[in-house]
Amino acid sequence: MNVLLVGGGGREHALAWKLKQSPSIGRLFAAPGNAGILEIATLAPIEIARHDEVLRFCREAEIGLVVIGPEAPLVAGLSDALRAAGIPVFGPSKAAAQIEASKSFMKSICDEKGISTAAYATFSNAADATDYVRNTGAPLVIKADGLAAGKGVFICPTPDDAHKAIEACFTGAFGEAGALIVIEEMLEGEEVSFFAISDGKQALPLAFAQDYKRAFDGDTGPNTGGMGAISPAPIMTDALTEEVMQRIVVPTLEAMASKGMPFQGVLYAGLMITASGPKLIEYNARFGDPECQVLMLRLKSDLLPILLATAKGEPPSAPLAWSGETAIAVVMAAEGYPGPYKTDTIISGLDDMRTREGAIVFHAGTAKDAAGRILAKGGRVLNVCATGSTASEAQAKAYDAASKIVWPEGFYRRDIGWRSVAREKLS
């Protein structure tokens, strides 16, 4: 079967790597792809935003499945165009993707179904939001309502931090995404990324992960799209998994179906495990990045038939097979990220990664120039990943591999996986 993978980040490189292992795969295409994906797939010469181009390519290349990685094409309705043309696609409809595209919409689902989440209020102007902060106090979390590439969330320990976040949103820092904001209470606990795959009616829980959103060591600095991830998440138990499914995921899918927008794809629930139980922080309508990278490293089952069945609206099958090993992803980002950063800087040392046992590099924002050099093209540029029998072993392998990559204009956190490593030391 020929497959078209939409996207060009680390998540998509990991998906391409896993799809390529399927005995059912024919030709694998990617658009726009990156320098890493180019090594295992053919880059399709199409503009994803032009749905007519995508449809024409799918017909000409006899594509049997389209896998949409990032959120933007989902919100733009690409999956709807493909389904209308009879082309199987893994990814929810434009309407269902609102669960990620609008934080206020997600909160309304929580209100409707009684799903445990942070207390919140929404605002469409700075004056009312500022008054709310003045009356409520801090700490607070302020979020741009729309898509902001993981950068529209502000952790605000003080009222002054909150006022700065409000100003950023309403002065156009995130464009239309910041025209409406959500102000939430700050939850205390441990964050977990929970994934479930759904045909629109039923859901099958996948593995869990923890990501590290803050830019710098010790969970400090600005929020980012993710500076690293680890799987499994030791805090998750079978009982907690069942509670999340029955009290958060299933009610959400019921609500979506009742609104005529059944969710068909992978639902990513960002959770805070608090002293009173799990609470929903946010939903994403696709695999997380960099969580997808560690999930694909641990997945033993063939990914292609899983995605194809979901695309056809078939109920999820038996539980998937997962490796018992720990997987870690360390994001190498351009200096300055998530703020302004340089592009087209040269990265070397990647050739040696191909022969490192237990380690692999998934490309995110990269391209290859005419001389064959790898250039940095984005904020998050590489994912240095490793597996090990313990979190400590996986962490050591990942950081040893990262130390061999030569990129003076890049940086990375040195403590990804610290929670799991700390638990091992106490056990």
pLDDT (0 to 100) of residue 356:
78
Shared domain check, 230 and 138: no
Shared domain check, 299 and 203: yes
Return the percentage of the chain with pLDDT > 90, whole number: 89
pLDDT (0 to 100) of residue 314:
87
DSSP reduced 3-state for 377? coil
Give the residue-averaged pLDDT of 314-343: 92
pLDDT (0 to 100) of residue 330:
98
pLDDT (tens digit per residue) in 239-268: 999 999 999 999 999 999 999 999 999 999
Shared domain check, 196 and 306: yes
Distance CA 154, CA 1 (A): 43
Distance CA 33, CA 53 (A): 16
Q: Is 245 part of a structural domain of the chain?
A: yes
Q: Which run of H or of E encompasses 198?
A: strand 190-199
The CATH number of residue 381's host domain is 3.90.600.10
Among residues 236, 184, 164, 228, which one has the least CA distance to residue 206? Answer: 236
Shared domain check, 90 and 29: yes
Distance CA 268, CA 286 (A): 6
Tokens of 145: 């309502």
Give the residue-averaged pLDDT of 187-205: 93
278 bridge partner residues = 273
Among residues 180, 191, 78, which one has the least CA distance to residue 129? Answer: 180
Domain count of the chain?
Answer: 4
- Categorize the per-residue pLDDT at 427 as very low, low, confident or very high, splitting at 50, 70 and 90: confident
Distance CA 68, CA 200 (A): 17
Radius of gyration of the chain (CA): 21
Q: Is 354 part of a structural domain of the chain?
A: yes
Q: Is 114 part of a structural domain of the chain?
A: no
Question: Do 348 and 340 contact (CB within 8 A), yes or no?
Answer: no
Q: Which long-range contacts (CB under 8 A, 24 or more apart) does 171-174 make?
A: 174/144, 174/146, 174/148
Q: Is 118 part of a structural domain of the chain?
A: no
The CATH number of residue 27's host domain is 3.40.50.20
**Global pTM value:** 0.94
Shared domain check, 338 and 398: yes
The CATH number of residue 151's host domain is 3.30.1490.20
- Categorize the per-residue pLDDT at 319 as very low, low, confident or very high, splitting at 50, 70 and 90: confident
Shared domain check, 87 and 16: yes
Shared domain check, 207 and 290: yes
Q: Pick the last residue of a domain from 287, 311, 335.
A: 311
Q: Which domain range does residue 227 map to?
A: 189-311
282 bridge partner residues = 270
Shared domain check, 273 and 193: yes
Return the percentage of the chain with pLDDT > 70, whole number: 99
Environment class of 95 (CB within 10 Å of its CB; exposed 0-12, middle 13-18, buried 19+): middle
pLDDT (tens digit per residue) in 109-131: 999 999 999 999 999 999 999 99
pLDDT (0 to 100) of residue 194:
95
Q: Is 103 part of a structural domain of the chain?
A: no
Provide the mean pLDDT of the chain. 95
Q: Is 115 part of a structural domain of the chain?
A: no
Q: Is 112 part of a structural domain of the chain?
A: no
Shared domain check, 297 and 377: no
Shared domain check, 160 and 274: no
The CATH number of residue 264's host domain is 3.30.470.20
β 42-43/28-32 pair status: parallel
- Categorize the per-residue pLDDT at 331 as very low, low, confident or very high, splitting at 50, 70 and 90: very high
